[in-house]
Structure 1
Amino acid sequence: MDQPAVGILHPGSMGAAVAACAAGNASETLWCKAGRSPASAARADQFGLTPVATLAELLDRSDIVISLCPPAAAEDLARDVAGHRFTGVYVEANAINPERAQRIASCFGPDATVVDGGVIGSPPVRGKTPTLYLSGPHAATQRIETLFAGTAVRTAVLGTEIGKASALKLAYASFQKTSRVLVALAVGMAHEHGVDQELIEVASRRSDSYLAEPEYVAKTASRAWRWGPELEEAADALAAAGLPPEMLRAAASTLARWNDVKDDCELTLTDALNRLAQS
């Protein structure tokens, strides 16, 4: 089979790196520059992606489109793509709940194929190897596996049911991201009373404790703008399953206190704790 043309929506830190991995098995990797920021353009250029002027052009030239965007934008973006009568494979790889993934699949016509996806792990740069979990029609998931064969993006197929990959992504995010929020609260409380170093020492006696790695609090703060909406999606998934969503909604509310330090790589632990303590 000829190499497919791949379009990425949109080249954020994860999307650009994932698209770059696909490039080795694609005829071209495209992104749409309309309405995107200078930072997005710089990322796309860094990873060797080819710019096109409009979404319509990207869709006309792409056999496979991968959607990696903030969760809130996922459905609107999918509807835009469906409205252009896209007929290729659409990989819905955002951190959204299974019901939304199924809704997105239903908005496409019969000539398009939707694959549910969920990326677990860090962007595939500097030796990182995230896994792209997939669920959907067999032929389509096989095409995505082939697209990433031999790259830093591992793939794993969970079955044919749309929603399985999204469920796994959110189940993991529920633990991993909420754990980081609890670390921030615990360290913040200890810091207020001058016993933060003692807390870290206690935690370091235990293996695999986030609490022993307080440097991650600042990293969590800089990612809060993305993690909060993911936890809201996970809370919706819990509610749909008849499980209590309040803990995840509270974690999302806590993360919202850091929304104004988006991607701030210079943020210190003290700065993050101070912002967390502000009402």
Structure 2
Amino acid sequence: MDQPTVGILHPGSMGAAVAACAATNAAETLWCEAGRSRASVERAARFGLTPVATLAELLDRSDIVISLCPPASAEDLARDVAVHRFAGVYVEANAINPERTQRIAALLEPDATVVDGGVIGSPPVGGKSPALHLSGPADATARIEALFANTAVQTAVLGTEVGKASALKLSYASFQKTSRVLVALAVGMAREHGVDQELIEVASRRTDSYLSEPQYIAKAAARAWRWGPELEEAADALAAAGLPPEMLRAAASTLARWNDSKDSELSLTDVLDRLAQP
């Protein structure tokens, strides 16, 4: 099979690194410059992506398009793609709930073939190797597996039902990200009473406790602008399943106190101060 041309929408920290891995087995990896920031331009160049001027050109030249954007933008982006009647494979790889993924599939089909994707792990740089779980038509998921063969992105097919990959992603994210939020609350409470170091010492005696990693709270604050909307998506999925969403909505609300810390490198003290006094 000839190597496909791949388009990435858009080259954020995850999208650019994933696209760079796809480039191993692609003829070309494209991204659209229109309306993007200087940081995006620099990031895309660093990862060796080829710029095009318009979305229409990207879609016309691409056999496979991978959508990796903030959750709130996923459907708007899919609508923009649908206007151009894209006829290739569209990988909906955003952290959105299964119902939204299915709506996007309905929007793009039958012109496009939609594959549901869920990335679990850090961007594939510096030795990191995230998992890209896939669900959707077998021929299309096989093409995505081939695209990432022998790269740092490890693929796993969950079946043919669009929504399964999104469900797995949010199931994992709901625990992992909420757990980090609970650490911030626990350390914040302990610090208020002058026992934060004692709390960390107690937690360090237990294996695999997030409480023994308080330094990660600052990383959570820097990512809050992305994690909050993702937890709202997971809450919607819980509600749709008849399960209580309140804890995840509360975690999202807590993360919102850090929205102005986007991609920052603040100290633990600074982020706890912002949590206590937004």
TM-score, with length taken from structure 1: 0.99
The aligned counterpart of 2:88 is 88
The aligned counterpart of 1:271 is 270
Counterpart amino acid of residue 170 in structure 1: L
Q: Does 1:251 align with 2:229?
A: no
For residue 251 of structure 1, report the CA deviation from its aligned partner. 0.1
> Which residues in structure 2 correspond to 1:39-188 (within 5 Å)?
39-188=39-188
For residue 278 of structure 1, report the CA deviation from its aligned partner. 1.0
Deviations 1:199-240 (A, max 9, x none): 000000000000000000000000000000000000000000
The aligned counterpart of 1:6 is 6
CA–CA distance in structure 2, aligned partners of residues 24 and 145 of structure 1:
12
The aligned counterpart of 1:36 is 36
Alignment size in residue pairs:
278
CA–CA distance in structure 2, aligned partners of residues 239 and 118 of structure 1:
20
Deviations 1:20-39 (A, max 9, x none): 00001000000000000011
The aligned counterpart of 1:205 is 205
Deviations 1:75-127 (A, max 9, x none): 00001101101000000000000000000000013231000000000000000
Counterpart amino acid of residue 266 in structure 2: L
> Which residues in structure 2 correspond to 1:204-243 (within 5 Å)?
204-243=204-243
CA–CA distance in structure 2, aligned partners of residues 67 and 16 of structure 1:
11
SS of 1:244's equivalent in the other structure is coil
Deviations 1:32-66 (A, max 9, x none): 00000011111100000000000000000000000
Counterpart amino acid of residue 173 in structure 1: A
Counterpart amino acid of residue 60 in structure 1: D
* Unaligned residue ranges in structure 2 (runs of 5+): none
CA–CA distance in structure 2, aligned partners of residues 37 and 271 of structure 1:
27
Counterpart amino acid of residue 271 in structure 2: A
* Unaligned residue ranges in structure 1 (runs of 5+): none
CA–CA distance in structure 2, aligned partners of residues 140 and 58 of structure 1:
19
For residue 192 of structure 1, report the CA deviation from its aligned partner. 1.2
Which aligned runs of 4 or more in structure 1 are off by greater than 4 angstroms? none
Counterpart amino acid of residue 91 in structure 2: V
CA–CA distance in structure 1, aligned partners of residues 245 and 262 of structure 2:
25
For residue 194 of structure 1, report the CA deviation from its aligned partner. 1.1
Counterpart amino acid of residue 91 in structure 1: V
Counterpart amino acid of residue 125 in structure 1: V
